[in-house]
Structure formats: structure tokens, C-alpha cells
Chains A and B, each alone.
Chain A
């Protein structure tokens, strides 16, 4: 990419800080009479789905403490591998006390990119909070899928690192996905 007079730098990020709920999920903190609904409460509300899965986990800091002041956003396709307008986006925070988040959604399908490259089913995840100067991006894959030909995982190319992106299956409808910001289990974060 040629840099010229007509080419500008992206605006720098800044931390979302501890009070992000005021702008992003006001109803959650009791500011109920301003916006009718918080955005991203359920990613596929317009469709009827019987096979809802639930992905639960925590975000751990460098002291292995689970955080309750992070905001998580996810973006995904539907079960047929299609990205749709107005669906597929979720925004949630961990529970105050249990410090666990739960994403209830449909399991995404495999995606073929316009360039023909294969991607195993996955969900994009972005994490923001106090102390995070620039949102952290990662992906959720699923233990019970064939992950051997996925384009992104083949770039990461190290088994223990790849494992940080794979949700563990508990039963047919439940998965666990923990995020480690630091430490020997540090999650792989992506420059997307």
C-alpha cells in the first residue's frame, strides 16, 4: 500500500475504561429509560432456532483472577455459513458475582471465503475493558469440528497455541471457552 497525501492513519484506540456500560449496555446497569434495548442481547432473535448452544467461560488476568468488568463482543455467521445483515452480533459481560459469561447462540457453519479458502466454524471475539488499551481480538473454534484445514489455525501452527482458541465440549449444547490475558495459557490474540 502506497502512503500518499490522500492516505491517513487509523484513529488510535484508547481503553474503554470501567464505565463502558453507560454507553454500550445502559439497561444492564439500571439506566432503563434511555434506549429501549441494549444492542446484541441475542445474536439471532429474528429467526426461530431449536438448536441453541451455550458457550460459557471467564476472562482471566495475569494474577489468574476472573474479571467482571470486561465487555465481550462476538460476530458470527449462521448455521449455513452465511453472514447476515442485522444478525450474528452479540455483546455481553460476565456475571458480577460468578465472573462467568455465557453466550447463547446458534452454532456457526463452515465458511468458504470469496478467495475459496476453507474456514472451520468459528466466532470472532473482541474484548474491551479498563487496562486494555486496544481491544483484543480472537476466535472461538469448536472441539467437535474438523479443524485440520482451517486457514487461520494453519497460520498459528503450534498445537498448544491453537488449543487456546478451541471451545471444549461439555455436552451436545454446552461449551467452555476461557480467555487468558497472560500466563502460560495465554490466549492467542489476532492482528485482524
Chain B
């Protein structure tokens, strides 16, 4: 039976990171208990491609009213969903959410005193095909202030939620933008102790797409956990 490759917590954020205030009352104090993969962890929800509408991955159009487009700089965010051997993952569900160009979320709890955009909701989704590739068209999100140690600023970012093949591969993360000076000040990124791991969350400017005469592109590959193969004597493969 296959099992998930064990997580390397040195490359993951520290749960209780004092510079990020909200983590202090929400980070468990005890160490996580490791359990070997069972069928429960290596199976997972599968999402049918037919739930995805034509415009679900085009945030510049999926909330437009009367053919009006959202305000802001149009960008492409694209890349691959792969496992730890860089093998593409087919059928991965990617859900994204983000602020609009002024740094405002279309959410009842967003208190920032900047305008919503009536033609932008900041929500998108996509299911990868066999090459693991995904692409979103969207608007460059604005940075925004939030209460932490006093008021601090979040760097520009897009939230990503990904389901691969199994529940144990579930990942929620954020993509940042190359060159943003707020990145190095952000306690959420800095909760990741490893420099290379931090850097892997920064989408890189990509001028290789043919459309970059019209809009800028950022490339962001996402690596989900891979599997070890372990074999048990006297047992047949499969159910």
C-alpha cells in the first residue's frame, strides 16, 4: 500500500508565531501525533470537471455586470500542480480568493475603508487536466492594512486552496508577488523558518507568454505531497 511522504515541518510555518498575534490563542501547544497513512488519508474527495464554468478561472469577467470590467491591472497567474517528484497532478481542485485592486475583499467582515468593485468578487476556481497546468486571469490585488501589532500591511497576495488526490495532500497557502517590498516585513510569511521555503511562495514575473504584450503574467508552481510505495508480504495489490 502506498503512504504519504512524511511532512517536513522545518519547511512549514511555526504554529505559534508571536509576531502574528492571532496565532497565539489558536496554535495547539502539544506536538502533533504522527500516524502512518491509512486508506482514509490516501483517499480524498474527487471533484467533477463539469462543476467548473467557462469563466470560473477568469476573475476579470466572472463577476462583471453589464459587460463592465473591474478596475485595476489585469494579470495572469499560472503554473502547475505537481507532487514532490514534480509529477503533474490531474484533477486537482484549485480555489482562489483575493482582494480587489484597492485592497478590499468582497466580504461582510472586511472593515477597510476603500471601495469595493461592483465588477469584481475575487473568487475563482479550476480543475487541472492531465498536465497539471492551471491558469487564472485576474486583477493585481492591492496590499491592505490589518490589525496585528498595531496596524500592519499585508503584501499583495492571492489565497490558494488545493485538493489533490488525497485528503492528506490538502494544502491552503498564499502566493505573493515578486518584488513586493512588504514581503520581508510580513509575519505570516516569516512564520516559515526556512528561507528557500519562504521564497517558494513568491510568484515570479513571467514574460514568456505570448499575451504579455497585453497583460503581465506570474508563474507559481505548487508542490503537493508525494507517496512512498511500501509493499506488504502475502497481500495482493488493490482492494
Q: Mark A18-37, 1 if CB is under 8 A from B, else 0.
A: 11111110100111011111
Contact call A89/B40, Cβ cutoff below 8 A:
no
Contact call A34/B30, Cβ cutoff below 8 A:
no
A50-58, A99-107, A148-156, A169-177: which one contacts chain B?
A148-156
Contact call B20/A133, Cβ cutoff below 8 A:
yes
Q: Mark B105-130, 1 if CB is under 8 A from A, else 0.
A: 11111100000000001111100000
Contact call A10/B188, Cβ cutoff below 8 A:
no
Contact call B33/A156, Cβ cutoff below 8 A:
yes
In angstroms, Cα B48 to Cα A63, docked, is 41
B66-74, B196-204, B207-215: which one contacts chain A?
B196-204
Chain A contact surface mostly: loop
Q: How many residues of A contact B (CB 8 A)?
A: 78
Q: Mark B25-65, 1 if CB is under 8 A from A, else 0.
A: 11111101111011111011111100101001000001100
- Among A26, A117, A129, A187, residue most surrounded by chain B Cβ atoms (within 10 Å): A26
In angstroms, Cα B7 to Cα A23, docked, is 26
The number of A-B residue pairs with CB atoms under 8 Å apart is 255
Contact call B223/A11, Cβ cutoff below 8 A:
yes
Measured between beta carbons, the chain A residues less than 8 angstroms from B30 are: 186, 188-189
Contact call B38/A117, Cβ cutoff below 8 A:
yes
What class of interface size applies to chain B in its complex with A? 35 or more
Contact call A29/B161, Cβ cutoff below 8 A:
no
Measured between beta carbons, the chain B residues less than 8 angstroms from A132 are: 15, 23, 26-27
Which residues of B (174-191) have their CB < 8 Å from a CB of A?
174, 188-189, 191
Contact call B1/A130, Cβ cutoff below 8 A:
no
The answer to whether A97 has its CB under 8 Å from any CB of chain B is no
Known: A9-B223, A11-B201, A19-B105. A133 touches B173 (CB 8 A): no
- Among B32, B108, B189, B196, residue most surrounded by chain A Cβ atoms (within 10 Å): B32
- Among B46, B123, B174, B225, residue most surrounded by chain A Cβ atoms (within 10 Å): B123
Known: A11-B222, A134-B15. A75 touches B45 (CB 8 A): yes
Contact call A133/B27, Cβ cutoff below 8 A:
yes
The chain B residue with its CB closest to the CB of A126 is: B170
* Chain B residues proximal to chain A, CB less than 8 Å: 1, 4-9, 11-15, 17, 20-30, 32-35, 37-41, 43-48, 51, 53, 56, 62-63, 82, 84-86, 95-97, 105-110, 121-125, 159, 161, 167-168, 170-174, 188-189, 191-192, 196-198, 200-201, 222-226, 228, 232, 235, 238-239
> What 7 A-B pairs have minimum CB-CB distances, sorted nearest first?
A23-B97, A131-B22, A89-B45, A131-B26, A133-B13, A62-B25, A114-B1
20 additional contacts (CB under 8 A) given A14-B188, A39-B51: A1-B6, A9-B197, A9-B223, A12-B197, A12-B198, A20-B161, A22-B97, A34-B62, A34-B123, A62-B26, A77-B40, A86-B45, A88-B45, A114-B239, A117-B38, A124-B167, A135-B172, A136-B28, A182-B29, A192-B35
11 contacts between A and B (CB under 8 A): A7-B85, A14-B159, A16-B159, A23-B95, A35-B51, A62-B25, A83-B40, A114-B235, A155-B33, A191-B35, A192-B168
